[in-house]
């Protein structure tokens, strides 16, 4: 469980990135933190694994104050997958890359080997085991980065802008993957501004703008609130836009998903 | 991060900043030459005070003092070596003479004068003006471009280094722990992504450069042009005046040692 | 009839700004071609969206349009490719830079100078344009992209969206006939992306610049295009008018992220609803659905 109370943070260059943010993320939650670039989303999640320490306020991870422990310590519970995999990859083989964190955490050799096999298998990378990570394509490198974080089986997984530069099929695979993580009872936090992707996942949505949380609730309630979404410099999902334009015909306004939209429209058409 | 802060140029404007860099460089060179000419303390003391008005007009007092503080360690070493070896060689085992002390201080002051003038030059010259001055001084464009591009990317690289450190820390890498050797090894996961990223970046930059007609003609034109103005000419004349004055003093006027002066008063 | 067909074809040929015929390219050291047997034709004033799954060859194809392939990358280029009347293999990259401008994915790595103005002038300086004319063109480019107030700023101080607009101005200042955009909004948030698409659209509609936009974000970009090319595994699999392409079964099979408006109407049609047109944005979809709902 992550409890954030009245968190404020200012970067050394004077930018006030967080202004009194409070949020609670329970075990097993699936949260999408959304907002425009510069709203403070990444700053907020960097507090969850201790990369940043609060200037004011508190961040508790499973009851432990992040000010009291190191990043390496918190990292065991909180896995952080960065946006650009090239900021992590440095080993000679994919195998070594995935084992890196496990070695840092001091796992025994046989456990490391078991975990590495499991992670490679999970992300379909077994055939690249002995390949240099630099030889792989962009999408494959992303998977290596993901595997290297999941290898130590953290309870909480944070994905920072996982959909940037991804095509539709890659996003589909990501969505399915998140579903798998949730089936393993992991807490998943994604930082994103990809409204359509979030609309397909339907998680809890936390909207941020200018260092503050302006909304926190279900995706179909928040992404359909035109004013809120515009305030956060986002665009509502296309399906929502269509239904908004047809609201005078008595159609519901909180639709974000194509399949739900289809059901509703078919019902209306059959009914009449 | 603090190391890079000094290089992150802030756009400040002052009469000194707006002087032509080539003229400023000429001024600095003159001061250098004069500093090397004299082995007496007095002229070097005068030289020490010459750049100070520039520091105040440009408003870079704090940064200038910081650079002097940085040089103080080296200055102390210079003083020590000059004093120690001259003493051992010439005056041992008598007590060190006043002229020896004065000589050592003079050598140290010469170094300090060089550091302070150079520091004023860099603190009051924006990198883009410097690049422009290089271009107009017929330095091959490739070098000028490499210089300004490098300066432009310093903050970007600094940020990237921080992100890489964050990413690796999030995988359990502990940079502060371990003995000396282990600590150096711990920087490999930082350096390799940084270098690989720099290589990838250069490739993208090269693509962008080619796409914008890089190398289309050897006769490159320039959006800006440095023009010498009245105050630039004033500084040139001042520099020449200082140089001539120094040569005359050096040639014809014997400079008393400080202790001789003091013993008169 | 036959004469008419020949005449029309000839007329089309003279309008084509970019033409490729059986274009095949293999990177040096590559085992199979990155693009294979590509035959396309882009007319003057077109707004083309080039899309397809990652690795399909769209980025490679783009690089053929301004000579980066083959001159910068090397490799083996087969087939014909003519851009603005010249054969790409015969002219150097800087000769093409006057006709074809390219904006890349990462805004940061396209800006070299320490001020926006100097960056916008970069291409002109390289080409030896006289100072007075350069000043005018830089001014014009800044105005067209609405970034006049940023002219003295350093690139690092700007947001991603602002940087991309600067990159746009840098390319625009060279007054090319064609502008190629390689996933220019990847790093931008939705509003930043929208702004860029709007600027690109203005350049296309007001200045007549031919646009080739490589994109995944079809929901935001498709409303501006009149021509869509879909690639998969190095080959062109769909080429035509946006509505036809997005609505096709092939697009869905390949996994192209067609606009949700189009998808919704597709699934409704699968369930027997009669829809007369194919929408590609929310306005069209809502109008279409309104007709059906009110009619009932």
> Which of the other chains make 3 or more beta carbon contacts under 8 angstroms with chain C?
A, B
Determine contact: C110 vs chain B, CB below 8 A. Answer: yes
Q: For B231-250, what is each residue's pLDDT tens digit? A: 899 999 999 999 999 999 88
pLDDT at B5: 43
CA-based nearest distance C168→chain B, Å: 12
* Residue C206 and residue C270 in one domain: no
Residue C126 falls inside a structural domain: yes
CA-based nearest distance A246→chain B, Å: 46
Q: What is the Cα–Cα distance from A64 to A202, expressed in whole angstroms?
A: 30
Q: Is the pLDDT of residue B255 over 80?
A: no
Residue C28 falls inside a structural domain: yes
Which of helix, strand or coil describes residue A228?
Answer: helix
Count: domains in chain C? 2
* Residue C87 and residue C183 in one domain: yes
Tokens standing for residue A116: 């590495």
SS3 breakdown of chain A: % helix, strand, coil, rounded to 5? 45, 20, 35
Q: For A202-257, what is each residue's pLDDT tens digit? A: 999 999 999 999 999 999 999 999 999 988 889 999 999 999 999 888 888 889 99
Q: Is the pLDDT of residue C14 over 60?
A: no
Q: What is the Cα–Cα distance from A78 to A159, expressed in whole angstroms?
A: 11
Of C206, C221, C245, the residue that ends a domain is: C245
Residue C283 falls inside a structural domain: yes
Between A161 and B41, residue with greater pLDDT: A161
* Residue C122 and residue C206 in one domain: yes
Would you tell me how many other CB atoms lie within 10 Å of the CB of residue B83? 18
Tokens standing for residue A35: 């907002």
Q: What is the Cα–Cα distance from A158 to A78, expressed in whole angstroms?
A: 7
Q: What is the Cα–Cα distance from C96 to C65, expressed in whole angstroms?
A: 9
What are the boundaries of each domain within chain A? 1-77+154-231, 91-150, 237-272
Q: Is the pLDDT of residue B2 over 80?
A: no
* Residue C291 and residue C196 in one domain: no
Q: For B173-231, what is each residue's pLDDT tens digit? A: 988 878 888 888 899 999 999 999 999 999 999 999 999 999 888 888 999 988 888 98
Give the domain extent around C207: 13-245
C30 — pLDDT class (breaks 50, 70, 90): confident
Measured over the CA atoms of residue C188, residue C190, residue C194 and residue C195, the dihedral's sign is: negative
CB contacts, 8 Å: B193 with chain A = 86-90
pLDDT at C5: 47
A68 — pLDDT class (breaks 50, 70, 90): very high
Q: Is the pLDDT of residue A158 over 70?
A: yes
* Residue C53 and residue C78 in one domain: yes
CB contacts, 8 Å: A53 with chain B = none
Contact B224 C118 (CB under 8 A): yes
B95 — pLDDT class (breaks 50, 70, 90): confident
Q: Which CATH number is A1-77+154-231's, of 3.30.1330.10, 3.40.50.300, 3.30.360.10, 2.40.260.10?
A: 3.40.50.300
Q: Is the pLDDT of residue C41 over 70?
A: yes
pLDDT at B7: 46
* Residue C177 and residue C201 in one domain: yes
Q: Is the pLDDT of residue B6 over 50?
A: no
What average pLDDT does range B102-115 have in this prediction?
A: 90
A272 — pLDDT class (breaks 50, 70, 90): low
Tokens standing for residue A154: 């953290």
- The chain-wide mean pLDDT, for chain B, equals 86
Residue C219 falls inside a structural domain: yes
pLDDT > 90 fraction of chain C, expressed in percent and rounded:
75
Between C207 and C293, residue with greater pLDDT: C207
pLDDT at B11: 61
Q: Is the pLDDT of residue A154 over 50?
A: yes
Determine contact: C269 vs chain B, CB below 8 A. Answer: no
> Which of the other chains make 3 or more beta carbon contacts under 8 angstroms with chain A?
B, C
Measured over the CA atoms of residue A133, residue A136, residue A139 and residue A143, the dihedral's sign is: negative
What average pLDDT does range B153-168 have in this prediction?
A: 93
Contact B213 C108 (CB under 8 A): no
Q: Is the pLDDT of residue C12 over 50?
A: no
Q: For C131-166, what is each residue's pLDDT tens digit? A: 999 999 999 999 999 999 999 999 988 999 999 999
C196 — pLDDT class (breaks 50, 70, 90): very high
Among C101, C115, C128, whose Cβ lies nearest the Cβ of B216? C128
Pairing of strands A2-10, A16-25: antiparallel
Give which of C193, C270, C289 to mutate to test A binding, by max A Cβ within 10 Å: C289
CA-based nearest distance C263→chain B, Å: 36
Contact B212 C98 (CB under 8 A): no
What ipTM is given for this predicted complex?
Answer: 0.91
* Residue C129 and residue C173 in one domain: yes
Q: Is the pLDDT of residue C262 over 90?
A: yes
Determine contact: C8 vs chain B, CB below 8 A. Answer: no
CA-based nearest distance B118→chain A, Å: 27
CA atoms within 13 Å, Cβ hemisphere of A153: 10
What average pLDDT does range C245-268 have in this prediction?
A: 92
What average pLDDT does range C27-36 have in this prediction?
A: 92
* Residue C281 and residue C173 in one domain: no
Which C residues 168-207 touch B at CB under 8 Å?
170-171, 174
B263 — pLDDT class (breaks 50, 70, 90): low
CATH, residue C106: 3.40.50.300
Which of helix, strand or coil describes residue C66?
Answer: coil
Residue C2 falls inside a structural domain: no
Contact C257 A246 (CB under 8 A): no
pLDDT > 90 fraction of chain A, expressed in percent and rounded:
85
Q: What is the Cα–Cα distance from A99 to A96, expressed in whole angstroms?
A: 5
Q: For C44-71, what is each residue's pLDDT tens digit? A: 999 999 999 998 999 999 999 999 999 9
Determine contact: C212 vs chain B, CB below 8 A. Answer: no
Please choose, from the candidates A239, C285, A250, C227, the residue with its C-alpha nearest in 3D space to the C-alpha of residue C276. Answer: C285
pLDDT at C10: 46
Would you tell me how many other CB atoms lie within 10 Å of the CB of residue B203? 12
What average pLDDT does range A81-85 have in this prediction?
A: 94
pLDDT at C295: 76
**Smallest CA–CA distance from C194 into chain A, residue:** A235
Residue C27 falls inside a structural domain: yes
Q: What is the Cα–Cα distance from A211 to A251, expressed in whole angstroms?
A: 35
Residue C3 falls inside a structural domain: no
* Residue C271 and residue C174 in one domain: no
Give which of B162, B172, B202 to mutate to test A binding, by max A Cβ within 10 Å: B172
Q: What is the Cα–Cα distance from C223 to C242, expressed in whole angstroms?
A: 9
């Amino acid at each position: 469980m992550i409890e954030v109370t009245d968190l404020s943070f200012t970067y050394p260059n004077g930018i006030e990135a967080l202004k009194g943010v409070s949020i609670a993320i329970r075990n097993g939650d699936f949260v999408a933190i959304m907002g425009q670039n510069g709203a403070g989303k990444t700053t907020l999640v960097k507090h969850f694994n201790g990369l940043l320490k609060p200037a004011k306020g508190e961040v508790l991870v499973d009851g432990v104050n992040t000010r009291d422990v190191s990043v390496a310590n918190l990292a065991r519970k909180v896995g952080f997958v960065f946006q650009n995999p090239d900021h992590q990859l440095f080993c000679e083989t994919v195998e070594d890359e995935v084992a890196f964190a496990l070695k840092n955490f001091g796992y025994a050799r046989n456990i490391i080997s078991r975990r590495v096999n499991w992670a490679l298998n999970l992300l379909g990378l077994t055939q690249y085991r002995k390949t240099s990570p630099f030889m792989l394509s962009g999408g494959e490198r992303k998977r290596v980065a993901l595997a290297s974080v999941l290898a130590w089986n953290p309870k909480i997984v944070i994905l920072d802008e996982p959909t940037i530069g991804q095509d539709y099929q890659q996003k589909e695979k990501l969505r399915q993957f998140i579903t798998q993580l949730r089936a393993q009872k992991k807490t998943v936090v994604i930082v994103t501004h990809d409204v359509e992707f979030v609309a397909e996942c339907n998680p809890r949505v936390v909207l941020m703008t200018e260092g503050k949380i302006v909304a926190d609730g279900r995706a179909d309630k928040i992404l359909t609130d035109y004013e809120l979404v515009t305030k956060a410099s986002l665009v509502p999902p296309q399906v929502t836009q269509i239904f908004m334009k047809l609201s005078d015909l008595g159609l519901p306004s909180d639709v974000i998903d194509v399949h739900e939209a289809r059901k509703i429209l078919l019902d209306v058409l059959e009914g009449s | 991060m603090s190391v890079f802060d000094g290089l992150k140029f802030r756009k400040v404007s002052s009469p000194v900043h707006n002087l032509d860099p080539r003229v400023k460089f000429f001024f600095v060179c003159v001061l250098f030459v004069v500093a090397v000419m004299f082995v007496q303390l007095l002229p070097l003391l005068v030289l020490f005070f010459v750049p100070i008005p520039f520091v105040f007009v440009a408003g870079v007092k704090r940064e200038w003092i910081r650079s002097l503080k940085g040089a103080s360690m080296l200055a102390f070493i210079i003083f020590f070596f000059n004093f120690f070896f001259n003493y051992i060689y010439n005056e041992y085992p008598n007590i060190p003479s006043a002229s020896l002390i004065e000589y050592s201080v003079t050598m140290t002051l010469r170094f300090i004068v060089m550091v302070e003038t150079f520091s004023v030059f860099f603190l009051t010259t924006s990198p883009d003006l410097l690049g422009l001055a290089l271009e107009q001084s017929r330095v091959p464009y490739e070098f000028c471009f490499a210089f300004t591009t490098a300066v432009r990317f310093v903050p970007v690289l600094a940020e990237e280094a921080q992100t890489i450190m964050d990413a690796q820390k999030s995988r359990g890498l502990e940079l502060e722990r371990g003995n000396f050797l282990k600590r150096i090894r711990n920087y490999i996961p930082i350096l390799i992504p940084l270098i690989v990223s720099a290589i990838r970046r250069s490739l993208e930059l090269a693509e962008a450069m080619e796409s914008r007609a890089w190398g289309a003609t050897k006769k490159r034109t320039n959006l800006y042009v440095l023009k010498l103005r009245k105050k630039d000419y004033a500084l040139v004349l001042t520099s020449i005046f200082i140089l001539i004055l120094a040569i005359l003093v050096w040639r014809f006027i014997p400079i008393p040692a400080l202790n001789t002066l003091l013993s008169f008063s | 009839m036959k004469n008419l067909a020949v005449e029309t074809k000839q007329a089309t040929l003279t309008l084509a700004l970019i033409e490729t015929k059986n274009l095949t390219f293999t990177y040096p050291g590559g085992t199979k071609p990155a693009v294979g047997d590509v035959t396309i034709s882009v007319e003057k004033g077109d707004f083309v969206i080039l899309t397809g799954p990652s690795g399909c060859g769209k980025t490679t194809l783009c690089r053929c349009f301004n000579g980066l392939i083959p001159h910068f990358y090397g490799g083996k280029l087969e087939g014909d490719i003519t851009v603005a009347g010249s054969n790409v293999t015969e002219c150097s990259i800087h000769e093409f830079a006057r006709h074809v401008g390219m904006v890349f994915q990462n805004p940061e790595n396209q800006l070299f100078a320490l001020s926006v103005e100097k960056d916008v002038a970069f291409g002109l300086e390289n080409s030896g344009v006289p100072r007075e004319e350069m000043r005018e063109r830089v001014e014009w480019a800044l105005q067209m992209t609405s970034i006049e107030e940023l002219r003295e700023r350093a690139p690092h101080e700007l947001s991603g969206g602002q940087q991309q607009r600067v990159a746009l101005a840098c390319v625009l200042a060279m007054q090319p006939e064609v502008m190629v955009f390689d996933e220019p909004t990847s790093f931008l948030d939705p509003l930043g992306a929208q702004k860029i698409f709007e600027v690109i659209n203005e350049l296309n509609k007001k200045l007549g610049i031919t646009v080739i936009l490589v994109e995944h974000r079809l929901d935001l970009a498709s409303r501006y295009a009149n021509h869509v090319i879909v690639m998969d595994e190095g080959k062109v699999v769909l080429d035509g008018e946006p509505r036809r392409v997005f609505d096709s079964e092939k697009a869905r099979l390949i996994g192209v992220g067609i606009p949700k408006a189009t998808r919704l109407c597709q699934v409704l049609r699968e369930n027997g609803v009669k829809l007369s047109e194919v929408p590609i944005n929310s306005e069209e979809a809502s109008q279409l659905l309104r007709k059906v709902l009110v009619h009932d």
